[in-house]
Structure 1
């Protein structure tokens, strides 16, 4: 008979609040959060104060709602990095960044949409409005489009309906694409095997993004190469595009994906 290790009951009780917030996936008011955790608001509040102090949660000063804090996001990113796809891809994007001499990011589909989990910087400085932990716009960035083009249509529709396209870096409310334009744009991404952004949404910065698939054919992550427009060749048959496709294809093969999509060649 094994003896159960001794724990701290108050931490376990407070943990119900964190679980309730995680299940919700969106900011919650105190009364709703306490109800979901099965405790009165007066009991829940001291736990929330302590969790706020250490960064597990944070409270919006305007709405009063509680949401996941910086420490919880950092822990989540550490967990994501431990996934096999991210572990396999990390050294390869470092080699890719060295080879093309441009910044390369690694993104996964997180709670709030496409989320950057790794960023390899080039030898020369590039002004890029993203960092590890950044969420990028779903339809207005190369990274987001690469996810949207290869995810199940129902998942994309759900994300758009819930407003995930309005949460990320690069979102422009004045340029929300119409449905027909969106369909055409994503069809091109599927045809090319790459998503492309030319000086938009970041002026002066070009980007290519390529999906990485797992053994079941699902998008496991997206690799994005970014650089200044003066040195970043945006031709579909450019050396940068070829290197990115090759890197994504090799990682996909290591994850058990049997078919590598061959892009249609086209001159610039």
Structure 2
């Protein structure tokens, strides 16, 4: 008897539905293999030599190189022309940033920031935690602050930024520790005043941040720029984002207990309450038609 193509694809028990499901789940293996290189770069959080990257991805260097050529072409990976090391490319960074920006907390917070900027006269931003660390996802820049040169997608340092210290205070230590240790090693010779020199110094500073519920820096991230960062909490009491206010030192009066601190604390309290409440669903079209019919 002649058999059809579908019958040839049937599993041993003759379940056609299982066969269709199996075909639907099939994918393109080369994409899955290439993604292993991106995963390795994300976990490393640093540029990597070809051999190290190939080992981390579990493949031979020659095979890794072929995939990296294609990943470079689409902007998912970039290569330093001097060192030959590989790093996540601009498209990978834009992809990650786009994913972060679709979170409910950011979508609901972003429209409120321009009003806070106008009220305070300072640049206002928000940052969230990503695999790379404290990541800026939105800025509302105040006029007359040319020295405030941060961009969306910038990753802020853990040691000397108000935002990094705030994440250090509230984010689980297993997430922050690798970044803190790396910065302590890389900045061992830095003579910046107030820079923590050890894990003990850093986490003692984070304890002070938790006690105050806010983090201040004076010119330690950007010369001549002051910043104040405050935590915004979600429904389960977890840190969902950090509010940042900053400006040039002569314009930014963020002394403890001052008017600006009060304004920002009031804002984050209201924002936390809003994010802890369910988002309102838009009215259904059917409901509007029904009301009109009545």
Given that 1:57 and 1:69 are in contact with CA atoms closer than 8 Å, whether structure 2 keeps it comes out as yes
Name the counterpart of 2:182.
162
Give the corresponding residue for 1:124: 144
Structure-2 separation of matches of 1:46 and 1:133: 29
Aligned to 1:142: 162
Quick one: distance in 2 between partners of 1:205 and 1:137? Answer: 15
1:173 to 187, 190, 194: 190
- The secondary structure found in structure 2 opposite 1:227 is strand
1:72 maps to what in 2? 92
> 1:4 is paired with a residue of what secondary structure?
helix
C-alpha distance in structure 1 between counterparts of 2:32 and 2:196, whole Å: 46
> Of Structure 1 and Structure 2, which has the larger fraction of its residues in helix?
2
Cα deviations by residue, 1:2-49 (Å, 9 ceiling, x for unpaired): 562886554444333333433444433323433454543323322211
The TM-score normalised by the length of structure 2 is 0.74
Aligned to 1:260: none
Q: Distance in 2 between matches of 1:8 and 1:84?
A: 31
Aligned counterpart in structure 1 of residue 125 of structure 2, from 101, 105, 110:
105
Contact 1:139 1:165 in 2 (8 A): no
Task: State the alpha-carbon separation in 2 of the partners of residues 35 and 181 from structure 1.
Answer: 35
1:29 maps onto 2:49 in alignment = yes
> Relative contact order: is structure 1 or structure 2 higher (C-alpha 8 Å, sep ≥ 6)?
1
Question: Would the aligned equivalents of 1:205 and 1:228 in 2 still touch at CA under 8 Å?
Answer: yes
The range that moved more, 61-70 or 152-161, is: 152-161
CA distance in 2, matches of 1:183, 1:10: 44
Aligned to 2:274: 254
User: Are residues 147 and 11 of structure 1, via their aligned partners in 2, closer, same or farther at CA, if it must alter by over 3 Å?
Assistant: closer
Q: 1:95 to 1:52 in 2, by over 3 A?
A: same
Based on CA coordinates, which of the two structures has the bigger radius of gyration?
2
Corresponding position: 1:221 with 2:227:
no
Shift of 1:155: 4.2
How big is the alpha-carbon RMSD for the aligned residues of Structure 1 and Structure 2? Answer: 2.9
> 2:80·2:86 contact (CA, 8 Å) conserved in 1?
yes
1 CA distance for matches of 2:138 and 2:229?
14
- Separation of aligned partners in 2, 1:64 and 1:187: 41
- Find the residue that maps to 2:51 and give its secondary structure: helix
Tell me, what secondary structure is at the counterpart of 2:230?
strand
What is the TM-score of this pair, normalised by structure 1? 0.81
Evaluate the alpha carbon distance shift between residue 80 and residue 194 of structure 1 in structure 2; reply closer, same or farther with a 3 A threshold: same
> 2: distance between equivalents of 1:12 and 1:135?
27
Which shows bigger deviation, 216-225 or 119-128?
A: 119-128
Post-superposition offset of 1:112: 2.7
Q: Where does structure 1 lack aligned partners over 5 or more consecutive residues?
A: 258-268
Is contact 2:71-2:77 (8 Å) kept?
yes
